[in-house]
């Protein structure tokens, strides 16, 4: 077992079961994040000059993993191509390590397209062998892409994108060997042959007449705490299930077998196919804070009063909002991953929300501390002055067209104040 992996499993005074670590009599001084007013985004990956192919573009929040030879950074599209390098200043796409789904037409197989959005290393099965890395992937089945699989009409009103028809999404498990980095779906232990392991899904089957998307769509980075891994997963469009972010948990030793969702204050047993229960929906955490937006990234930050979890997400002003309505990247703090403080704006920018006009937009925020002692970069360096925190974002360069593939991965330095 690698020292980096052991380091990631140690400590963590703040427990996601609700325990609050706070020294007696110490004023509660939560950490604050700030980006310098003059800060400009630094390009990490430029699509125009570095891409392996046209579909090599950042379409998910950046996830970092410490490797034997340096670091891996993945901002996945459905063709998942990692950036590899000795450190964060020497990253380049590894074209040979691309991986993608089978694009199977049968929605019950969960073998269409997947975007790897959380990384969790496992110890090697035996000395001298490469370790495995579990990925939690956003699996998207879009029936209109498969002949005869979508009967939902498109009215052309523009109120809802045509692609939202017959969109059935779930969180599935994939796995890669360290050094190879080509992710493959994990076979489900039960069920028909060729079915992928489902981590979180709607309890209802795919509906070819659905005019709106439904299911579990995105997942935050993996958070290691004690014997468990946690993540926040976003859901919408499921009857009986409120829209928002749910809390996902698994024992580290069970990460390739099954995960649980927080429901009614406890972690609910999962069905064999990973589907949520129609009579026991998952608890929505931070509903008043995130406002229905997916949490894109979470990082643990130390403070004089004990550790905090900090989550980032984007907030776009409604189309009918008055001029000057704040929008951009926001962050919220939590002690226990369940209760979240009012959000504060971190960076004012234009989030992409299918705008018809050309321009430069940003999406998929993620906080990464280059100096993190964790193998999955889920916590910042705890020694004062040692943190090297950055906000990673996808920059969409839509200059002369409504849509386009020209996207870059950028980052901007973030200051942490106790």
Q: Flag whether 146 is in a domain.
A: yes
Instruction: Kindly state the average pLDDT of the residues 241-250.
Output: 95
Instruction: State the pLDDT at residue 11.
Output: 32
Identify the residue with better confidence: 300 or 292: 300
304-306-308 Cα angle (round to 5)? 115
Domains in the chain, number: 1
Instruction: State the pLDDT at residue 194.
Output: 78
Q: Flag whether 24 is in a domain.
A: no
Look at residues 323, 321, 402, 316 and name the one whose alpha carbon lies nearest to residue 362.
316
**How far, in Å, CA of 381 to CA of 337, rounded?**
19
Instruction: Kindly state the average pLDDT of the residues 400-410.
Output: 79
Among the ranges given (56-60, 120-124, 286-290), the one the predictor scored with the smallest mean pLDDT: 120-124
Among the ranges given (26-30, 180-184, 230-234, 300-304), the one the predictor scored with the smallest mean pLDDT: 26-30
Instruction: Kindly state the average pLDDT of the residues 354-358.
Output: 69
354-356-361 Cα angle (round to 5)? 60
pLDDT reading at 253 higher than 50: yes
328-284-138 Cα angle (round to 5)? 70
Q: Flag whether 23 is in a domain.
A: no
Q: Which structural domain range is residue 385 located in?
A: 3-17+29-417
pTM across the whole model: 0.90
pLDDT reading at 408 higher than 90: yes
Instruction: Kindly state the average pLDDT of the residues 228-256.
Output: 94
Non-local (6+) Cβ contacts of 337 within 8 A are 16, 223, 230, 232, 247, 285, 298, 309
Q: Flag whether 185 is in a domain.
A: yes
Instruction: State the pLDDT at residue 159.
Output: 55
Instruction: Kindly state the average pLDDT of the residues 21-47.
Output: 76
Secondary-structure percent of the chain, ordered helix, strand, coil, rounded to 5: 5, 40, 55
Q: Flag whether 22 is in a domain.
A: no
Whether 381 contacts 373, CB under 8 Å: yes
Q: Flag whether 227 is in a domain.
A: yes
Instruction: Kindly state the average pLDDT of the residues 46-69.
Output: 96
pLDDT reading at 23 higher than 60: no
Q: What is the pLDDT of residues 112-124, one digit of tens each?
A: 999 999 999 987 7
Instruction: State the pLDDT at residue 300.
Output: 96
Identify the residue with better confidence: 25 or 76: 76
Q: Flag whether 164 is in a domain.
A: yes
Q: What is the pLDDT of residues 153-167, one digit of tens each?
A: 876 555 556 778 999
Q: Flag whether 359 is in a domain.
A: yes
Q: How confident is the model at residue 2 (pLDDT cuts 50, 70, 90)?
A: very low
Sheet holding 328-334, edge to edge: 297-301, 308-315, 328-334, 344-348
Average pLDDT of the chain, as a whole number: 87
Q: Which CATH number fits the domain that encloses residue 135?
A: 2.115.10.20
């Amino acid at each position: 077992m690698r020292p980096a992996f052991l380091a990631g499993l140690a400590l963590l005074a703040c427990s996601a079961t609700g325990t609050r670590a706070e020294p007696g009599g110490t004023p509660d001084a939560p950490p604050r994040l700030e980006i310098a007013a003059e800060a400009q985004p630094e390009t990490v990956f430029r699509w125009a000059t570095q891409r392996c192919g046209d579909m090599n573009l950042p379409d998910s929040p950046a996830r970092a993993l410490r490797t034997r030879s340096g670091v891996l950074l993945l901002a996945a599209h459905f063709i998942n191509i990692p950036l590899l390098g000795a450190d964060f200043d020497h990253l380049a796409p590894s074209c040979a390590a691309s991986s993608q789904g089978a694009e199977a037409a049968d929605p019950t197989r969960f073998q269409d397209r997947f975007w790897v959005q959380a990384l969790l290393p496992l110890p090697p099965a035996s000395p001298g062998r490469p370790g495995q890395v579990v990925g939690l992937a956003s699996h998207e089945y879009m029936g209109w892409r498969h002949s005869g699989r979508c009967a939902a009409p498109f009215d052309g009103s523009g109120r809802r994108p045509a692609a939202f028809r017959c969109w059935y999404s779930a969180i599935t498990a994939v796995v890669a060997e360290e050094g190879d980095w080509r992710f493959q779906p994990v076979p489900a232990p039960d069920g028909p042959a060729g079915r992928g392991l489902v981590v979180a899904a709607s309890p209802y089957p795919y509906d070819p007449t659905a005019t709106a998307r439904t299911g579990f769509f995105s997942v935050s980075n993996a958070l290691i705490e004690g014997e468990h891994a946690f993540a926040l997963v976003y859901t919408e469009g499921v009857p009986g299930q409120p829209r928002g972010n749910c809390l996902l948990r698994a024992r580290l030793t069970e990460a390739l077998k099954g995960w649980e969702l927080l429901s009614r204050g406890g972690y609910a047993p999962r069905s064999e196919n990973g589907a949520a229960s129609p009579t026991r929906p998952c608890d929505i955490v931070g509903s008043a804070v995130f406002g229905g937006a997916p949490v894109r990234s979470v990082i643990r930050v130390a403070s004089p009063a004990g550790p905090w979890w900090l989550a980032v997400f984007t907030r776009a002003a409604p189309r009918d909002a008055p001029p000057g309505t704040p929008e951009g990247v926001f962050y919220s703090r939590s002690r226990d991953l369940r209760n979240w403080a009012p959000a504060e704006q971190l960076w004012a920018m234009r989030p992409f929300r299918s705008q018809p006009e050309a321009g430069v937009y940003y999406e998929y925020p993620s906080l990464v501390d280059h100096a993190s002692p964790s193998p999955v970069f889920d916590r910042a360096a705890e020694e004062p002055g040692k943190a090297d925190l950055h906000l990673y974002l996808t920059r969409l360069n839509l200059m002369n067209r409504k849509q386009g593939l020209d996207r870059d991965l950028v980052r901007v330095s973030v200051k942490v104040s106790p």
